[in-house]
Amino acid sequence: MKKYLGIILVIAAIQLNAQDVQRKFDIRFGVGISLLGTGDMTTINFENEINYKINHYFTGSFSLNYGNGNSGLYETSTYFQGNLNIFISPFKNSRRNDFRIGTGLSIMNITDSYFIENFNIDSGLTSTYYLDKRDSYGFNIIIENTFSITDRFLIGLKLFTQPYVSNGDINSGILLKLGLKL
């Protein structure tokens, strides 16, 4: 009987420990708008993020973003972005509500296209566009609030600005995020 009780306690301890490890990770998907380049382009952007809870106050994250817009200075602007961030939760991140402030590094690949001219060729009208491609390196300033709807599902709002010191670009916006604790 002692042997069975010991096995049950070991299995329960492993299960509790495994659940604690699983709760350290979460994935979040966001959608929102941003102003790319001091408001020159309004873009719709999508974010995929993975978070690792270091302790009750600190969280690390990695995210990939895609943005596209056709309202502003250029005909279209498209960007792909990678971010590596660290967050501090001044009121702890162990409750249903997690308010956090973060910063980190960002790299963005941007393609802007704009119209140059129309000209006639025997077969019809042809338009010429110019593509401006560049990489930008900078940092993030983030304010985010996340609420746990259940033990596993999250909903949140993220405000961010990303000044890119390499060439003067800036990207600022707001995202609505849904997440899942793993």
- CATH topology for the 26-181 domain: Porin (2.40.160)
The gap from C-alpha 94 to its chain's centroid, in whole angstroms, comes to 21
For 91-101, what is each residue's pLDDT tens digit? 998 889 999 99
**pLDDT of the residue at 21:** 45
* Integer angstrom CA distances of residue 21 from 51, 147, 169: 13, 20, 39
Q: What is the pLDDT of residue 157?
A: 98
pLDDT band at 20 (very low <50, low <70, confident <90, very high): very low
Tokens of 83: 């971010």
pLDDT bracket for residue 168 (50, 70, 90): confident
In order of 54, 101, 135, 182, the CA distances from 158 in angstroms are 20, 10, 24, 21
pLDDT grade for 115, boundaries at 50, 70 and 90 = confident
pLDDT tens-digit profile of 26-70? 999 999 999 998 668 999 999 999 999 999 999 999 999 999 998
Vertex 110: Cα angle to 105 and 111 (nearest 5)? 175
**Mean predicted lDDT score pLDDT of the chain:** 88
Q: What are the residue boundaries of the structural domains of the chain, listed by start? A: 26-181
Residue with tokens 């990303």: 162
Q: Give me the pLDDT at residue 180, please.
A: 95
